[in-house]
Structure 1
Amino acid sequence: MRLSWLLGGLSVLSGASLSHANSPIEPSNFNVTSALEDLGVDVSSIPALKGFHGAKARSTDKACTAACSSLSYLFRSKVSAQDTIGYSSFTDSFWSVQQEEVQPHCVFRPTKNTDISTAVLLSRLTGCEFAARSGGHAAFTGSSSSPGGISIWFKDMDAVTLNEDQSVASIEPGNNWLSIYSALEPYGLATVGGRAASIGVGGFVLGGGISYHSNLYGWACDNVESFEIVSASGKILNVSETSYPDLYWALRGGGNNFGLVTKFNLYTIPAPKMYGGARTFTQNNFPQAIDAFINVANNASVDTHAQQYIAFFSINGTNIASAELTYTKNVADPQIFKEYRSIPAVSDVSSPKTLVEYVTYLEASNPFHLREVYWPITVQMNRKFSRWVVNTFYSMIPEVASIPGAQPVIIYQAVTEPILKKMSKFGGNALGLDGSKGPLQIMQISCWWLNESDDEAIYKFLNSFWDKVIAQAKKEGVYDEYIYMNYASMFQDPISGYGEANKDRLKSIAKKYDPRGVYQTLQPGYFKLDGAPVTRYF
C-alpha cells in the first residue's frame, strides 16, 4: 500500500531547485516510500505513521515523535529515548557543554550504512530534523546533535580495516584518532589524521584535517582515496577521483553538506616513532619564539618532517608561550628546530612517542565538560603583525579576567608551502587555497569558561578582539578570507571563505546530488552553504 501524502517526499522540500532533476541519484519523480520499500521497510506497517499526515503535521514534536517511534519499531535496541541510560551516555559524552545541553528527541545508533539510509528517508518522510555525530568535538549547539530531532550516533560503526596491499585503511565514522592509530600501529602504519585522541574522523576529514604529517603529505582531506556516503535519496555512493569526481572534490573541505559519510578510505603512511612535546617560554622571550615559529614555517620545504604550533596564554598572572614541536622521526634535536632550542625554556616535555602515545598526551590540553569556543582567522605570514597580535591579545585579556574559569588562548599554526602544494592532489580540494599564496598563518582563539550566564561576555570579547585584529590585518594587506572550518566559531561562514567560485561550485554540486536540499534543511546543524550558523547579536 502506498500513502499518497508521502509521494515525492515532503512538500516543504519540494520548492528547492530541480535543475538536476534528471540526475540518476534523485530523479524528479523520486518517491520516499518506494525508496524505503527498496530497503525492506513497509511504511504502511509502522504504527507511528498511521494517521500521520506529513507536512500538515510538521511540528517538531509531532514529526519527531513519528520519526523516532518509527525508528524504534524498525530497530528497537538501536534507538534511545529521553531519560534512558543510552540517551544520557550520548548527551554526557560531548567535549563542550554547549553540545551536552542539546536534547534530541531520540538517539539512533546505526550499525551499517543502510540503517543510515533508512533514518535519512524517515526524516524526509516525517519532516523531523537530524544531526550526525562522529567524535562530537565541535564547540557550539547543534553541531552534531539535533535539538528536538534525531541524533545519529556513529559509535557502533567503528571498524578499521586494511586492503590487501595495506595501502588504504577503510575507517568507519564511529572512530576517533586514538582508535584508528591503535588499530593501525601493529602494522607499522597510520593515516594522515588528528592530533588529539578523542577527535572523530568525520568532521576532521571533511573540514580539512591538520596533522602531524601535513608537511609530508598535506591535510587529511588531501589523502582520501574514496568516500562511501549515504545520499539524500538513501543511495549508497562510492565516491572517488574517478567515480562522482565532482562530489569527491566537494567532500574534501565541504563539510556535512552532501551526505553522511559511512566510510573514509584513507591512504596509509609509515608510522615510525616520533619525537616531540611542548617547549615553554616566558614573556621576555616571546619575540624570539615568534621569530622561530615564522622561520620554521618559511623553511618547511627544507625539512617536511617538522610540524609546529605555538600557543600564548596566561596562568596565575604569568604570560606563557608553549610551542608544540613535533618531528615525525625519532630525532631529538633536528636542525630545523635549532632556533627554538636556543631560546631559554622554563620547561620542555619533549620525548620519543608513538602516535598513540602522542594523541593521548595531547588529550590533556583539550579538557571535556566546559563551555568552549574556537574562533580563527587567516593571514599572510608576517613577523611584525604576529608580534602585534600577541601584544594586543594580552592587552585585552583583563576584560575577561573576572569571568569564572575563563581561559583564552591564541594559537598560531602555519599553512606551509608544502601543505599548499599538496592541495592540488587528486584534482584538488574545495578549500580555495593553493601554493601561489605562499605560507599562511591560522590565528585561532580557543577559550573555555564555566557559566552559561557569561556566554555573551566571552563572545563579545572575542568579537571585539577579532574586529581589531582584522582591521589591522586589512590595513597592512595581510588578511586572507579563508576560515579553517574545523576551528570556526558559530558566527563564521567558512564556505564563503573558500572564494565565490568555489562556493558557487559547491552549491551546484549540492543541488545535483540533493536537489530538494535535505542536507541543508533537515540537517541544519554545523556549517551550511548559505551562511554562518548563528547571526552575531552583539
Structure 2
Amino acid sequence: MHHISTILGGLSVLSGATLAYASTPVESSNFNVTAALEDLGIDVSTIPALNSFTGAQARSTDKACAAACSSLSFIFGSKVAAQNTAGYSNFTDSFWSVQQEEVQPHCIFRPTKNTDVSAAVLLSRFTGCQFAARSGGHAAFTGASSSPGGISIWFKDMNAVTLNDDKSVASIGPGNNWLSVYSALEPYGLATIGGRAASIGVGGFVLGGGISYHSNLYGWACDNVESFEVVTASGLIITVSETSYSDLYWALRGGGNNFGLVTKYNLYTIPAPTMYGGSRTFLEPYFSQAINAFINVANNASVDPHAQQYIAFLNNNGTNLASAELTYTQDVADPQIFKQYRSIPAIADVSSSKTLVEYVEYLETSNPFHLREVYWPVAVKLDEKFSNWVVKTFYSMIPQVENVAGAEPVIIFQAITEPMLKKMSDFGGNALGLDASNGAVELMHIACWWTNESDDETIYAFVNSFWETVLAEAKSQGIFNEFVYMNYASLYQDPISGYGAANKAQLKKIAKKYDPQTVYQTLQPGYFKLEGAPASF
C-alpha cells in the first residue's frame, strides 16, 4: 500500500479541474452542483430521471427521491437496490435493533469507492432527497443510519483493511466491523483501538469516541486516528489530519456525522497479544464489595493500564445479579489489579485466554439482534457511595417494567479513567469536552431490550424517570457531569451540547466553514446533529 499521504493522488476518476480546487475544500458561494457532478464524469443532461426534474419536485420527498434513486441506478446499476428486492431486504433485515429494521428507504446504494460516495451526496443536493449512511448499523433508534423514504448509503462493500509500509497505520474502509478489522490485522500480530463486540461498525464507533479494551494504554479510538479520508458536502475528497485541515480533524473526533462522510479511517496500529478475561458474576449480598472493587480498579488504571472493566447489574428470572467483565490485555490469569474482584465469591466465571478476535466474538453473544433496543447514558464523578445508591434505586424501579413483554433492563458502570482522559489532549485534542482535571468520570448507562412496539413509550418513560431521579441526586451532590457519550446516547439526548457550550460553538463554526449549505444537517438529518436531540420526550 502507498503511504497514507498519497491517497489524493489515486483519484483518477476526478478531472484535473476538480483536483485543482480540491486544495480548497471550503465551498465557494457560487458552487454549482451540476458542474461538480460533471467533474466526476456525470453529465446530468444524459440522466432520464433528471431531464425534466424541477425545483417544485425537489420539495416533494417522493418525487425527489424517485429522481435521485433512478439517477443512481442509471449511473451505478447493480450497486442500487430498490424496494421489494433481495438486495433491499438484505439491508433492512441486517440491523441490530428492530427500530432501525423498520425504516423503509426509497433505495439502498452500495458504493465501492470514494467517488461513488461523492456522486451520491451531490445527487442528494441536486434533487433534495435526504440520505443516511451506514457503517455497522448498531444504533438503537429509527433513522440513525437508514433514511426513511430517502437514500440509504450502505458502506458494506468499502471494506478494505490495508497497512502502510512500516505497518504503523491501518487504512480501514467504513464497511468494516471490528471483527473484520481484527481478523485482517491478527496475522500481522497487530490491532487498532476498536470496539469490544464483533458486529459494531467502524464508522459510528470512531466518530463518537470509541472505548476499547486497550483504552487505558492508548486512549479512545478517536484519539488514535492518523487521518480521515472525507467526502465533503461539495463532493470533494480530502485527507484530514492534525496538520491538514486540523480544525476538521478535531471536529471529527467526537463530532459524529455532522461534517462529511468518512470513506477511510487511518488508525494507528498496536500490538495484539493474547488477552485474558471474561465475566465474573455475583449475587446481591456481594454487590457493595463488587462496586468497591470497580472503584479501586478504576482509580488504579494508571498503576496497571492493562486492566479494562465494566460491571452490569440486572435481574435474571427473579434473581438480582452483578456481572463484571474483567479484561486484561496480556495473557495473565490473575493480575494483582483484579485480585479484589477474585476474592469475592462468584456464582460463575467464564474468564479464559482469548485473542482479540475470540474476545469480540464471545461478547457479541450478549448483544442479540432483532429486538427493540434502547441505550441511554449519563456521566458523574466516580463515586462509590453514589454508585451503591444508584444500584439500589435501579432495582427499586425495575417493577415499573416487569410486565412489559421481553423487557430486560440492565445498568452498566464504566470508568473514563485518568489515563484515558489524559490521552484526549493528544494530536490537538478532541471535541468531547472531557479532561483529567477533576479525576475519573463514571459512565453509567441503561441498556434494555423488549418485544413490542406498543411498549416503546413505557420503556422510554421508565428510563427517563430513572435518570431524572439519579441526575437530580448527582446535581445535589455536586458530582454531575454534562458529558453524554454519543455511542450510547438515546434518541432523547443531545451529545453535542454535552460537550460543553464552547465546544458546541466551535463544532458549529467548523461545520459552517466546510458545509455552508448545511447539507449534513438538513439532507442527512439522522443521528445526532449539532442542534438538539433526534426526538423530544
What does residue range 148-167 of structure 1 map to in structure 2 within 5 Å? 148-167=149-168
Q: Deviations over 1:224-245 (max 9, x none)?
A: 0000010000000100000000
Deviation at 1:38, TM superposition (A): 0.1
Q: Deviations over 1:317-344 (max 9, x none)?
A: 0000000000000000000001100100
* Equivalent AA in structure 1 for residue 223 of structure 2: D
* Alpha-carbon distance between aligned partners in 1 of 2:30 and 2:70, rounded to the nearest angstrom: 27
8 Å CA contact 1:36–1:43 kept in 2: the answer is yes
* Equivalent AA in structure 1 for residue 398 of structure 2: I
* Equivalent AA in structure 2 for residue 91 of structure 1: T
Deviation at 1:172, TM superposition (A): 0.2
* Alpha-carbon distance between aligned partners in 2 of 1:107 and 1:332, rounded to the nearest angstrom: 47
* Alpha-carbon distance between aligned partners in 1 of 2:59 and 2:262, rounded to the nearest angstrom: 27
* Equivalent AA in structure 2 for residue 466 of structure 1: W
Deviation at 1:24, TM superposition (A): 4.4
- Deviant stretches of 4+, over 6 Å: none
* Alpha-carbon distance between aligned partners in 2 of 1:27 and 1:285, rounded to the nearest angstrom: 63
* Equivalent AA in structure 1 for residue 160 of structure 2: A
Deviation at 1:218, TM superposition (A): 0.2
Q: Deviations over 1:357-387 (max 9, x none)?
A: 0000000000000000000000001111000
Q: Deviations over 1:8-39 (max 9, x none)?
A: xxxxxxxxxxxxxx964310010000000000
* Alpha-carbon distance between aligned partners in 2 of 1:221 and 1:529, rounded to the nearest angstrom: 18
8 Å CA contact 2:83–2:106 kept in 1: the answer is yes
Corresponding residue number in structure 2 for 1:484: 485
Corresponding residue number in structure 1 for 2:530: 529
* Equivalent AA in structure 2 for residue 361 of structure 1: Y
8 Å CA contact 2:44–2:51 kept in 1: the answer is no
* Equivalent AA in structure 2 for residue 50 of structure 1: N
* Alpha-carbon distance between aligned partners in 2 of 1:423 and 1:55, rounded to the nearest angstrom: 47
* Alpha-carbon distance between aligned partners in 1 of 2:39 and 2:176, rounded to the nearest angstrom: 29
Q: Please, what TM-score do these two structures have when normalized by structure 1? A: 0.95
Corresponding residue number in structure 2 for 1:418: 419
Corresponding residue number in structure 2 for 1:447: 448
* Equivalent AA in structure 2 for residue 51 of structure 1: S
* Equivalent AA in structure 2 for residue 286 of structure 1: F
* Equivalent AA in structure 1 for residue 221 of structure 2: A
* Alpha-carbon distance between aligned partners in 1 of 2:389 and 2:494, rounded to the nearest angstrom: 25
* DSSP 3-state at the match of 2:437: helix
Corresponding residue number in structure 1 for 2:518: 517
* DSSP 3-state at the match of 2:389: helix
* Equivalent AA in structure 2 for residue 450 of structure 1: T
Deviation at 1:57, TM superposition (A): 3.7
8 Å CA contact 1:157–1:172 kept in 2: the answer is yes
Q: Deviations over 1:36-92 (max 9, x none)?
A: 000000000000012110355421100000000000000010000000000000000
Say yes or no: does 1:343 pair with 2:344: yes
8 Å CA contact 2:295–2:384 kept in 1: the answer is yes
Q: Deviations over 1:200-223 (max 9, x none)?
A: 000000000000000000000000
* Alpha-carbon distance between aligned partners in 2 of 1:297 and 1:335, rounded to the nearest angstrom: 14
8 Å CA contact 2:58–2:129 kept in 1: the answer is no
* Equivalent AA in structure 2 for residue 81 of structure 1: A
8 Å CA contact 2:57–2:64 kept in 1: the answer is no
Corresponding residue number in structure 2 for 1:32: 33
Corresponding residue number in structure 2 for 1:136: 137
Corresponding residue number in structure 2 for 1:15: none
* Alpha-carbon distance between aligned partners in 2 of 1:175 and 1:281, rounded to the nearest angstrom: 35
* Alpha-carbon distance between aligned partners in 2 of 1:325 and 1:383, rounded to the nearest angstrom: 18
* Alpha-carbon distance between aligned partners in 2 of 1:422 and 1:465, rounded to the nearest angstrom: 32
* DSSP 3-state at the match of 1:435: coil
* Equivalent AA in structure 1 for residue 521 of structure 2: Q
Corresponding residue number in structure 2 for 1:71: 72
Corresponding residue number in structure 2 for 1:210: 211
Q: Deviations over 1:388-432 (max 9, x none)?
A: 000000000011000000000000000000000000000000000
* Alpha-carbon distance between aligned partners in 2 of 1:341 and 1:93, rounded to the nearest angstrom: 39
Corresponding residue number in structure 2 for 1:238: 239
Gaps of 5+ in 1: 1-21
Deviation at 1:532, TM superposition (A): 0.2
* Alpha-carbon distance between aligned partners in 1 of 2:227 and 2:192, rounded to the nearest angstrom: 14
Corresponding residue number in structure 2 for 1:291: 292
* Equivalent AA in structure 2 for residue 509 of structure 1: I
8 Å CA contact 1:25–1:235 kept in 2: the answer is no
* Alpha-carbon distance between aligned partners in 1 of 2:24 and 2:302, rounded to the nearest angstrom: 44
Corresponding residue number in structure 1 for 2:202: 201
Corresponding residue number in structure 2 for 1:279: 280
* Alpha-carbon distance between aligned partners in 2 of 1:112 and 1:126, rounded to the nearest angstrom: 22
* Alpha-carbon distance between aligned partners in 2 of 1:51 and 1:130, rounded to the nearest angstrom: 22
* Alpha-carbon distance between aligned partners in 1 of 2:171 and 2:97, rounded to the nearest angstrom: 28
* Alpha-carbon distance between aligned partners in 2 of 1:231 and 1:54, rounded to the nearest angstrom: 23
* Alpha-carbon distance between aligned partners in 2 of 1:165 and 1:499, rounded to the nearest angstrom: 39
* DSSP 3-state at the match of 1:377: strand
* Alpha-carbon distance between aligned partners in 1 of 2:58 and 2:465, rounded to the nearest angstrom: 43
CA change 1:349–1:467 in 2 (3 A) is: same
8 Å CA contact 2:159–2:175 kept in 1: the answer is yes
Corresponding residue number in structure 1 for 2:18: none
Question: Aligned residues, how many?
Answer: 515
* Alpha-carbon distance between aligned partners in 2 of 1:438 and 1:305, rounded to the nearest angstrom: 19
* Equivalent AA in structure 1 for residue 43 of structure 2: D
* Alpha-carbon distance between aligned partners in 1 of 2:509 and 2:439, rounded to the nearest angstrom: 29
Corresponding residue number in structure 1 for 2:8: none
* Equivalent AA in structure 2 for residue 479 of structure 1: F
* Alpha-carbon distance between aligned partners in 2 of 1:272 and 1:443, rounded to the nearest angstrom: 29
8 Å CA contact 2:25–2:232 kept in 1: the answer is no
* DSSP 3-state at the match of 1:143: coil
Give the RMSD, CA atoms, in angstroms: 0.8
* Equivalent AA in structure 2 for residue 325 of structure 1: L
* Alpha-carbon distance between aligned partners in 2 of 1:28 and 1:435, rounded to the nearest angstrom: 42
Say yes or no: does 1:384 pair with 2:385: yes
* Alpha-carbon distance between aligned partners in 2 of 1:215 and 1:297, rounded to the nearest angstrom: 10
Deviation at 1:437, TM superposition (A): 2.3
* Equivalent AA in structure 2 for residue 63 of structure 1: A
* Alpha-carbon distance between aligned partners in 2 of 1:287 and 1:36, rounded to the nearest angstrom: 62
* Alpha-carbon distance between aligned partners in 1 of 2:520 and 2:390, rounded to the nearest angstrom: 38
Percentage of identical aligned residues: 78
* Alpha-carbon distance between aligned partners in 1 of 2:368 and 2:490, rounded to the nearest angstrom: 18
* Alpha-carbon distance between aligned partners in 2 of 1:299 and 1:273, rounded to the nearest angstrom: 22
Corresponding residue number in structure 2 for 1:403: 404
* DSSP 3-state at the match of 1:225: strand
* DSSP 3-state at the match of 1:437: coil
* DSSP 3-state at the match of 1:507: helix
* Equivalent AA in structure 1 for residue 380 of structure 2: V
Corresponding residue number in structure 2 for 1:352: 353
* Equivalent AA in structure 2 for residue 47 of structure 1: P
* Alpha-carbon distance between aligned partners in 2 of 1:327 and 1:173, rounded to the nearest angstrom: 28
Corresponding residue number in structure 2 for 1:16: none
Corresponding residue number in structure 1 for 2:270: 269
Deviation at 1:435, TM superposition (A): 1.2
* Larger CA deviation: 435-444 vs 196-205: 435-444
* Equivalent AA in structure 1 for residue 174 of structure 2: P
Gaps of 5+ in 2: 1-22
